[in-house]
């Protein structure tokens, strides 16, 4: 697993039902823009609010469109039984791996228990497992855990460059989940990224990955320049004091101005933050510059 992957948004209708048609169309749009693959049901995809049946339906739809690209579905669940059922469902599907978040409801648990959890998950999977390290929502996975469990590697959404370096220095494969660290992390040895901003700037984020992974100094500078411009647009609407959920809700609301597919609002009970007209205008001004760089 190497490249720039998208933790794809899940589209919802006004009645909170999954919009399967729009979700599939959004996936097709992202794939057409040069990303390496799709990672549905993660944090951006509101995976914690989806039922097993809903995840199965979306997985079937996306498996039919990825072709030579990767599909790496995420499982966010406190139920080991639910995880096992989903792993049994995807056993014979063409997915490149499955990303699994540690339990959150039962925290704190010790590292030994966390190791045992991932061993139980890996034992039931026919596909490589990517452990999802996102301490703001769930149990922290550190290198001492990652090196003891039979996984492909870690998606590191800790927001810490030091965390990424620690995984890499211990021989753990990582995909970066903190978009702002994408260039630095790739230069340091990360395999790529699973980056939420690629929902809105897919070709630009794919280009950043390609430039940063080239190892050429001027390409790395260009990659960081594009990423900085993207953050100028994002920072116009996402404020420093926003929580992760607020940030995603704000960006999902802005998707209607940046992508051709309507993905609707966040699913209840999560609010969709509405930016002001002035904030949207500022964002679009910066986004126009970003789109011109692709």
Structure letter (DSSP) for residue 160: -
Instruction: Report the pLDDT averaged over residues 66-94.
Output: 97
- Separation of alpha carbons 128 and 55, rounded Å: 19
62 pLDDT more than 90: yes
Distance separating alpha carbons of residues 68 and 71, to the nearest angstrom? 10
The mean of the pLDDT values for the chain is 96
Q: What's the mean pLDDT in 29-55?
A: 97
Instruction: State the distance between the two ends of the chain, measured CA to CA, in whole angstroms.
Output: 24
The DSSP bridge partners found for residue 224 are none
Q: Identify the CA nearest to 42 among candidates 221, 198, 240.
A: 198
- The string of DSSP letters for 167-196 reads HHHTT-EEEE--GGGHHHHHHHT--EEE-G
pLDDT of amino acid 294: 67
pTM for the whole thing? 0.96
The 129-133 sheet, strands edge to edge: 70-71, 37-38, 3-6, 192-194, 173-176, 153-156, 129-133, 98-100, 74-75
Element (H, E) at 263: none
- pLDDT band for 15, please (50, 70, 90 cuts): very high
Q: What is the dihedral of CA 121, 123, 59, 13, to 10 degrees?
A: -20
pLDDT digits (tens, 9 = 90+) for 112-136: 999 999 999 999 999 999 999 999 9
Q: What is the pLDDT of residues 153-201, one digit of tens each?
A: 999 999 999 999 999 999 999 999 999 999 999 999 999 999 999 999 9
Q: How many CA atoms lie within 13 A of 133 on its CB side?
A: 26
Inter-residue contact 58 to 20 (CB < 8 Å):
yes
DSSP 1: -
What φ, ψ does residue 201 adopt, rounded to 5°? -130, 60
d(CA 77, CA 58): 17
Q: Residue range 40-53: average pLDDT?
A: 97
Mean pLDDT of 39-47: 97
| 265-279 exposure pattern, b = at least 16 Cβ within 10 A, e = fewer | bbbeebeebebeeeb
Return d(Cα 225, Cα 234) in angstroms, integer.
14
Q: What is the pLDDT of residues 132-164, one digit of tens each?
A: 999 999 999 999 999 999 999 999 999 999 999
Torsion of CA 37, 151, 214, 290, to 10 degrees: 40
What are the helix and strand counts (H, E) for the chain? 11, 9
Please tell me the distance from the alpha carbon of residue 239 to that of residue 229, in angstroms, as a whole number.
16
pLDDT of residue 262: 96
d(Cα 280, Cα 283) in Å, to the nearest integer?
5
Domain spans of the chain, in order of start: 3-292
Gap between the Cα atoms of 181 and 138, Å rounded: 20
pLDDT value at position 108?
82
Q: Look at residue 48 and give its three-state secondary structure.
A: helix
Domain 3-292 has CATH 3.20.20.70: yes
Q: Which regions of the chain does DSSP assign to beta strands (E)?
A: 3-6, 37-38, 70-71, 74-75, 98-100, 129-133, 153-156, 173-176, 192-194
């Amino acid at each position: 697993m190497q490249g720039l992957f998208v933790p794809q948004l899940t589209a919802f209708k006004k009645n909170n039902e999954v919009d399967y048609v729009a979700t599939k169309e959004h996936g097709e749009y992202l794939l057409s823009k040069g990303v390496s693959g799709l990672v549905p049901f993660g944090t951006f995809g509101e995976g914690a609010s989806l039922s097993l049946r809903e995840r199965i339906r979306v997985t079937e739809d996306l498996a039919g469109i990825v072709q030579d690209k990767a599909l790496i579905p995420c499982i966010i669940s406190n139920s080991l039984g639910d995880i096992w059922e989903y792993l049994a469902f995807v056993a014979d599907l063409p997915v490149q791996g499955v990303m699994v978040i540690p339990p959150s409801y039962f925290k704190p648990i010790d590292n030994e228990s966390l190791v045992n959890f991932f061993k139980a998950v890996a034992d039931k999977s026919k596909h490589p497992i990517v452990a999802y390290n996102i301490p703001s929502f769930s149990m922290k996975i550190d290198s001492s855990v990652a090196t003891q469990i039979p996984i492909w590697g870690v998606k590191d959404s800790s927001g810490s460059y030091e965390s990424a370096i620690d995984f890499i220095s211990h021989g753990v494969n990582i995909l970066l989940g903190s978009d702002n660290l994408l260039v630095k992390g790739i230069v340091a040895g990360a395999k790529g990224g699973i980056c939420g901003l690629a929902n809105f700037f897919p070709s630009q984020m794919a280009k950043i990955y390609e430039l940063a992974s080239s190892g050429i100094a001027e390409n790395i500078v260009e990659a960081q320049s594009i990423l900085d411009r993207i953050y100028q647009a994002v920072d116009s609407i996402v404020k420093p004091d926003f929580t992760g959920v607020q940030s995603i809700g704000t960006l999902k609301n802005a998707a209607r101005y940046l992508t051709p597919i309507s993905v609707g609002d966040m699913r209840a009970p999560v609010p969709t933050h509405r930016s002001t007209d002035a904030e949207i205008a500022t964002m679009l001004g910066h986004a126009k510059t970003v789109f011109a760089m692709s």
